[in-house]
Chain A
Amino acid sequence: MTRLAVNRLKERKPDAAAVDRFLTRHEVPIVEGDRCTFLWRGEADEVFVVQRIVGLPERLPLRRLWGTDLWYLVLELPTGSRINYQIEVRRGEHLERGNDPLNPKLSYSPVGTSSVCFAHGYVTPDWTEPDPDARPGELTELVVQSRALRRDCRVTLYLPARFRPTAAYPLLVVHDGDDFLQYAAAKTVLDNLIHRLDVAETVVAFVHPQDRLSEYANSAAHARFLTRELVPRLEAELPLVGQRSGRCLLGSSFGAVASLATAYRAPDVYGSLALMSGSFVFTDIGGADHGGGPVFDPVVRFVNRYRQRPRRVADRLFVSCGVYEPLITYNRSVVHTFESTGMTVRFVETRDGHNWENWRDTLRDALSWVYPGPQKLVYE
């Protein structure tokens, strides 16, 4: 195997000009096979790569290249991986954390940005980028006066291109709608996957929480809003299939909990659920510390109860989780619980973390399984 670029540099006992040239020649992190070299340059007492890969310490120290102000860390990352990270620098008592100044690639989320490392073999799926050949669907805004939630609920509706009142469309309800649209390119993905016949023409209702951590943590009010208010109204006003096989709830993280909890309260209503990186934290002994803090208390109570008395809540479940997420163990475990009820479960693991790009990249697997497109019917 060819020696790593940073090792070749080290052997040359580089001066500042050589480090300059080295950084000009390489994209950072430097990806060589399954090794990724993280770099930082400057004066500091300690430098860390901060990430949340389960099984690794959160802060991984960089080493200083002797005689220079260049710091480096070589990390093994399997093919196809994608990780978000930041750089932390300590100077005396002062700690500073931020994105990698040597890496322009960023990952976006509602809580800000982080640097992103694409390991060997990771390719951003082309169906996440706008395709001029794909006819665009339409986004419209709707307000539902919810007695359950005691507020006016804004809902963003996606109507597929060539929407016809004489057709019958399946319905997909997406939790954290604004975030899926903004950070997971949901409209572009829908336009493309429908255009490519991977996914059926679908009406999508993007719902937006007000107090996410309470509404999505096994809230009866949220479930009532979806099942008794939103879905009936959409089915009354739009040409929808209007039966279980044509109704699906999708969510990630707490949104997945909200999807499961809603279907749990209405087991005859929804045919499918798409649960991405579900926050399905549980404890095997009731009083044990689950480590999630108070916001997770209702979730843990719900998941514990579900695991004790699992029941069928839909016909088909798409479950996915990144293998670098702390939630991977819970998700692997709960899949067996789902299967034990006779539901058809498709479980997909990705080499990614708890982030929006992961959920964006998983949308094709999820949607083409839940609502397959007419590809099998089309022979040009």
Chain B
Amino acid sequence: MRVVVLGPQRRPTLDSVARGMDLPGPVATVTAGWQEREPDDAELDALLGGRSANLRLHGRWQDVLVKDPEYAAAELEHRAALRELQELYLVQIDGTLRALREVGRYGGSRAEVREAARADTEAAVRLVDERHLVRVREARDAFEARWRPGERLAAAEHRAEIRQIMDAAAALVVAGGHVGVLLHVLRLFAVGAAPVVIAWSAGAMALTERVLLFHDRAPHGPAHAEFLDAGLGWIPGCVLLPHARRRLRTDDAARMAELAGRAAPARCVVLDDGVRLDLGEHGALPPGARTIGPDGRIGDVA
């Protein structure tokens, strides 16, 4: 599988990227992140030379919910439980990050004492992040084990149709949008990889090992970055930050360093407009990829 990660497509580069790859067949597309706007993909289809086959994952999901009310109720309850998990995680991470920042500001004269406290508090932050992802995975596993969504009639029919499309596809294109919805429907319909995968923004985030949410420019001020869930893992070793300069206070080196520390050993990769990353073996980043270093500054991968 060849994976190409693009920056946000406000000014599309997808057309030239796809042309340059000389794809030998139809291109399966996922626009489920656009939710109810999923079918509005004429522009995307044009960029792909009219060869796209939209998997319509959002529409299929809604169809499953309508046709299978028992599953719909169970899924609603599952999503409510995940929401609570996320809210409680935010309470925990708020406390530990505040402690980390307070330790960083501590005015004592013994650097080694403060350093030890900082390392311990960092470990606490990482523990909260890791435990949250474990809890989410456990909740998801338990839900899937109990309800077996893929085997239920309504979803199984859609899965079969999707498999047919994917078998013929030369590439899979995953557009941005709502990353939670994308993750959910990609899993629900067990969308597999194609020989070539092109993704951007939320579409690319969903393919990583861990999805990190971030927004420093919310109406009520900067919020803590938070892990949402594991991704599909097709892009290993990276935490992707689309629109980084628009959404993050990238000039705040301490805050960025904190982010890089929480993502480690994965690297925080900045995905701004115009970026194209042709990933190598095991998600190896190409030279020139922009990442956040341990000092919180953005620099090139050598």
Q: Which residues of A contact B (CB under 8 A)?
A: 162, 164, 166-168, 198, 241, 243, 245, 346, 364-365, 368-369, 372, 374-380
Contacts and interface: CB of A to CB of B under 8 A. Distances in A.
A198 B65 CA distance: 27
A168 B202 contact: no
Contact of B76 (A168, A364, A375): A168
Contact of B220 (A166, A368, A374): A368
Given A376-B214, A380-B176, 19 more contacts: A162-B36, A164-B62, A166-B65, A243-B80, A245-B84, A346-B220, A364-B219, A365-B219, A375-B218, A376-B215, A376-B218, A377-B180, A378-B202, A379-B176, A379-B177, A379-B242, A379-B243, A380-B177, A380-B201
A380 B215 contact: no
A106 to B, nearest CB: 28
B87 A245 contact: yes
B139 interface: no
Nearest to B61: A166
Contacts of A372: 218, 220
Nearest to A348: B220
Interface string B71-100: 010001001100010010000000000000
Contacts of B72: 166
Determine the interface band of chain B, counting residues with CB < 8 A from chain A: 20 to 34
Contacts of A162: 36
Contacts of A376: 213-215, 218, 223, 226
Contacts of B140: none
Nearest to B241: A379
Interface in B205-219: 205, 213-215, 218-219
Contacts of A375: 215, 218
The dominant DSSP class at the A interface is: mixed
19 contacts: A164-B62, A166-B76, A167-B76, A168-B80, A198-B218, A198-B219, A372-B218, A374-B180, A375-B218, A376-B223, A376-B226, A377-B178, A377-B180, A378-B33, A378-B176, A378-B179, A378-B202, A379-B177, A379-B201
Interface of B: 8, 10, 33, 36, 62, 65-66, 72, 76, 79-80, 84, 87, 176-180, 201-202, 205, 213-215, 218-220, 223, 226, 228, 242-243
A379 B218 contact: no
B208 to A, nearest CB: 12
A345 to B, nearest CB: 13
Q: Most chain-A Cβ atoms within 10 A of its Cβ — which of B72, B80, B84?
A: B80
B114 to A, nearest CB: 29
Closest 10 CB pairs of A and B: A379-B201, A379-B202, A368-B219, A376-B215, A379-B242, A166-B65, A376-B213, A369-B220, A380-B176, A377-B180
Contacts of B201: 379-380
A376 B8 CA distance: 15
Nearest to B35: A162
A245 to B, nearest CB: 7
B213 A377 contact: yes
Contacts of B76: 166-168
B140 to A, nearest CB: 17
Contact of A168 (B79, B205, B215): B79
A346 B223 CA distance: 14
B189 to A, nearest CB: 17
Contacts of B214: 376
Contacts of A168: 76, 79-80
A241 B243 CA distance: 32
A214 B221 CA distance: 38
Contacts of A365: 219-220
Contacts of A167: 76
Nearest to A369: B220
A165 to B, nearest CB: 9
A372 B87 CA distance: 12
Contacts of B243: 379
Contacts of A241: 80
B54 to A, nearest CB: 17
A195 to B, nearest CB: 12
A375 B180 CA distance: 11
A327 B263 CA distance: 47
Nearest to B215: A376
